[in-house]
């Protein structure tokens, strides 16, 4: 995950759990090796060795230095209002305002990131809570003082702004200004814009109600693998769906979705309300559809969305074939939706020490060249990465930072294979941020969401290729092949399935059709059956899955997971096939591009045209190749 500071006008001592072996059985070297292979447990942050913690002092050496920037950002925000009403007077005036805006926002970002990241690794610290609160208040004030900039640029007469942009002094700002002007036809009068802005909390109510309802629902108890009664919850649902015991999976599946069905009408009202709001805002801004209203501000043509759904739909026979294989490998007479999460090949789940994980990542990313490898070493050894979890560290993983800092990566490393992939993933974000900040001016350094996941998943593809190449046994290879197939299923197929459902429900509401619970259930089950094919028993419970997906409240967001996966698959293959020239093309035209051009053009220059079906077709070829290889290994004696 990449956390961003938005720059647009519209958003701105170790305790081991090891038992020592007798010294006469193992050499001292062997004892040391064993100790290093056991998962370390840290009670608090003070126990973690310094080499495993990021160095926020690289941003501010003292609290006083941070305090100075908080004050400076506030002062500069107040001074920035002096530019208001003067942008149209001359190119010089516009440049002066944009120069000051860049200066202000660079300080804002640096101060905000520091306070937020300091709290993320020590959430119970009252002093750090105070810092984060003050940073948030500073940020709100800055946004209020700069909110007029976009509308005033839009208000400049077309011929006048065109003449201004010919001025060489405004060269660094041309794309930024043109990007604001691009949606001018969908910008309303000042009064209407204010009215829409004031109505935003109402439009967000369905998501808030959905979140509260989802949190408050109590699920029944089920019996686990040992026959013990356990409480089913939202957070442990998937872990029970991954159980080797089929009865446990079935219990969890039925209990979860049958419980959701008890609230189906409320869920339908919340989702329907969000869809209505999206369609209303699209109509108000003179867009033909809500999808167009969502994609256009990000400079992504609606053709990309449609091309994704059409191409994946044509490739569904491959997905159906994978389900047939899964059914065979699980040895079941009927394949149900509660069977798809359990692994068909068991993994070696022994702990992977962090230093070993680093070497795995460095080896896997060698195709990206010597310079990239040296940057990875700098990240690992130079205070970029915060590695181990503690009770008061926030969960998950992300990459963050500001224009005037090196990238930072937060991990909660537990030593699993997935954790190794997460390191590669987050460092992909970090390298994109590094290259972008080196090449681009501040104003065009914030790469968009559409491209944000490409660099990270490209690294995951390369890591997988390295692990598969170095796999020693048939079992290892089969595990890795199944892992890749599951990545395809959950990212390319499943996210496209969600995207298709999202598109259809908006179209139905726009036509005046009801989005009641029964209509949503029937539609979702129909699409699910299409994606999983005849080998899958599409149980009635799956018709309620839409009520478990919060992404349906994010307004045409999920398709980007699938497009990023396709683009990164294509780029990883080019780098493996063509070597350093391909990586240099990717580095210079994509990793270092930031927001200097629209995302489709950036990816096209890197070597993948997402306005066509080709990248998705090439990705499907990789899926087929992986499926062929797993079937081949299964048939070997």
DSSP, residue by residue, 225-274:
TTS-EEE--TTTHHHHHT-S-HHHHHHHHHHHHHHHHTTHHHHHHHHHHH
Catalytic: 144?
no
* Count of C-beta atoms within a 10 Å radius of residue 448: 18
Considering only CA atoms, give the Rg of the chain.
26
Among the listed residues 207, 426, 460, 545, the single catalytic one is 426
How big is the chain, counted in residues?
637
The DSSP symbol for 550 reads G
Tell the residue number behind the tokens 């009064």, with chain if given: 191
Tell the residue number behind the tokens 């979140």, with chain if given: 211
- CA-to-CA dists, residue 506 to 194, 282, 516, 535, 539, angstroms: 25, 11, 13, 30, 25
Tell the residue number behind the tokens 């798809």, with chain if given: 340
The DSSP symbol for 15 reads E
Dig out the tokens for 544 from the structure: 């309620």
Dig out the tokens for 245 from the structure: 């015991």
How far is Cα 355 from Cα 158, in angstroms, rounded to an integer?
57
How far is Cα 370 from Cα 361, in angstroms, rounded to an integer?
14
Dig out the tokens for 163 from the structure: 């003449």
The DSSP symbol for 39 reads P
Q: Give the strands of the sheet with 398-400, arranged side by side.
A: 385-386, 408-410, 398-400
- 35: which residues sit within 8 A by CB, 6+ positions away? 16, 18
What are the backbone dihedrals phi and psi of residue 400, each rounded to the nearest 5 degrees, phi first? Answer: -150, -175
How far is Cα 12 from Cα 4, in angstroms, rounded to an integer?
9
Beta strand 335-336 with 536-537 is parallel
Positive or negative: CA dihedral 602, 607, 611, 616: negative
Beta strands in 125-247 (DSSP E): 221-223, 229-231
Active site residues: 426
């Amino acid at each position: 995950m990449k956390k961003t500071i938005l720059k647009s006008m519209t958003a701105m001592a170790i305790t081991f759990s090891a038992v020592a072996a007798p010294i006469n059985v193992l050499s001292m070297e062997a004892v040391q090796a064993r100790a290093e292979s056991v998962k370390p447990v840290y009670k608090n942050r003070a126990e973690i060795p310094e080499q495993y913690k990021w160095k926020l002092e690289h941003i501010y050496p003292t609290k006083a230095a941070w305090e100075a920037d908080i004050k400076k950002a506030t002062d500069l925000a107040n001074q920035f209002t002096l530019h208001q009403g003067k942008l149209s007077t001359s190119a010089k005036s516009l440049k002066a305002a944009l120069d000051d805006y860049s200066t202000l926002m660079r300080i804002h970002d640096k101060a905000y990131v520091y306070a937020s990241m300091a709290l993320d690794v020590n959430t119970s610290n009252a002093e750090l809570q105070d810092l984060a609160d003050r940073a948030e208040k500073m940020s709100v004030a800055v946004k209020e003082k700069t909110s007029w900039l976009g509308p005033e640029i839009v208000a400049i007469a077309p011929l006048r702004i065109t003449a201004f942009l010919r001025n060489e002094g405004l060269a660094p700002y041309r794309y930024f200004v043109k990007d604001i002007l691009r949606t001018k036809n969908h910008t309303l009068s000042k009064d209407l814009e204010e009215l829409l802005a004031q109505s935003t909390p109402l439009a967000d109510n369905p998501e808030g109600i959905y979140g509260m309802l989802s949190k408050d629902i109590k699920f029944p108890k089920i019996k686990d693998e040992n026959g013990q009664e356990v409480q089913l919850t939202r957070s442990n649902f998937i872990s029970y769906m991954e159980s080797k015991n089929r009865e446990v999976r079935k219990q969890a599946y039925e209990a979860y979705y049958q419980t959701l069905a008890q609230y189906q009408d409320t869920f339908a009202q919340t989702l329907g309300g969000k869809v209505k709001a999206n369609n209303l805002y699209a109509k108000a801004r003179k867009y033909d559809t809500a999808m167009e209203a969502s994609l256009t501000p990000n400079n992504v043509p609606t053709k990309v969305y449609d091309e994704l759904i059409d191409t994946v739909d044509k490739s569904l026979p491959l997905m159906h074939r994978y389900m047939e294989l899964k059914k065979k490998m699980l040895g079941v007479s009927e394949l149900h939706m509660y069977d798809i999460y359990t692994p068909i090949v068991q993994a070696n789940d022994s702990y992977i020490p962090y230093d070993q994980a680093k070497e795995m990542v460095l080896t896997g990313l060698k195709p990206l060249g010597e310079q990239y490898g040296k940057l990875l070493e700098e990240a690992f050894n130079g205070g970029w990465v915060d590695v181990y979890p503690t009770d008061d560290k926030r969960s998950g993983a992300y990459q963050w930072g500001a224009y005037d800092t090196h990238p930072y990566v937060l991990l909660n490393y537990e030593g699993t294979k997935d954790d190794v992939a997460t390191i590669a993933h987050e460092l992909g974000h970090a390298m994109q941020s590094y290259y972008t900040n080196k090449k681009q001016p501040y104003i065009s350094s914030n790469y968009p969401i559409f491209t944000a996941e490409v660099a990270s998943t490209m690294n995951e593809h390369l890591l997988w290729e390295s692990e598969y190449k170095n796999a020693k046994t048939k079992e290892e290879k089969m595990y890795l092949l199944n892992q890749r197939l599951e990545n395809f299923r959950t990212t390319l197929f499943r996210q496209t399935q969600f995207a298709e459902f999202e598109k259809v429900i908006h179209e139905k509401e726009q036509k005046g059709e009801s989005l009641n619970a029964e209509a949503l259930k029937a539609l979702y089950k129909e699409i699910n059956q299409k994606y999983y094919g005849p080998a899958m028993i599409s149980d009635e419970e799956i018709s309620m899955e839409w009520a478990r997906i919060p992404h349906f409240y994010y307004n045409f967001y999920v398709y980007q997971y699938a497009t990023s996966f396709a683009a990164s698959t294509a780029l990883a293959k080019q780098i493996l096939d063509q070597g350093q020239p391909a990586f240099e093309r990717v580095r210079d035209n994509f990793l270092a591009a930031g927001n200097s051009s629209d995302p489709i053009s950036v990816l096209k220059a890197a070597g993948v045209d997402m306005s066509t079906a080709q990248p998705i077709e090439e990705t499907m070829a990789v899926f087929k190749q992986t499926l062929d290889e797993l079937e081949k290994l299964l048939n070997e004696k």
